[in-house]
């Protein structure tokens, strides 16, 4: 799992994030996204351009969401600690 704090979630920022992941870790083969992605058209276009398989989950799946949200909770705690130390851009 790779995480980066974003002030604005826009297609261009996400594109740069994905390209940076590829530079660091090699090509991405699969991306799992939910069906409510804000800028779906641009992101799906990028995945198609890169030949990345996408798996779209249902908008609400209690069992899967609880696992996913637990990860988000831990990430948010870490980001708050970093922000308090003034290391967050």
Phi and psi (nearest 5°) for 27?
-65, 140
Structure confidence at residue 2 (pLDDT): 64
Residue identified by tokens 């609400």 is 60
Pick the CATH number of 11-84 from 3.30.750, 3.40.50, 3.30.1330, 2.30.30: 3.30.1330
Structure confidence at residue 8 (pLDDT): 73
Query: Taking the domains of the chain in order of start, what are their residue ranges?
Result: 11-84
52-80 pLDDT, tens digit each: 998 877 766 666 667 667 777 888 888 78
- Write the DSSP symbol of residue 55: E
1-33 pLDDT, tens digit each: 666 677 777 778 888 888 888 888 888 888 877
Name the residue with higher pLDDT: 18 or 34. Answer: 18
């Amino acid at each position: 799992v790779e995480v980066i704090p974003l002030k604005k979630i826009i297609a261009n920022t996400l594109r740069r994030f994905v390209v940076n992941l590829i530079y660091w870790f090699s090509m991405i083969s699969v991306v799992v996204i939910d069906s409510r992605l804000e800028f779906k058209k641009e992101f799906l276009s990028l995945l198609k351009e890169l030949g990345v398989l996408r798996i779209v989950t249902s908008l609400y799946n209690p069992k899967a969401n609880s696992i996913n949200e637990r990860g988000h909770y831990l990430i948010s705690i870490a980001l708050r600690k970093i922000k308090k130390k003034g290391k967050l851009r």
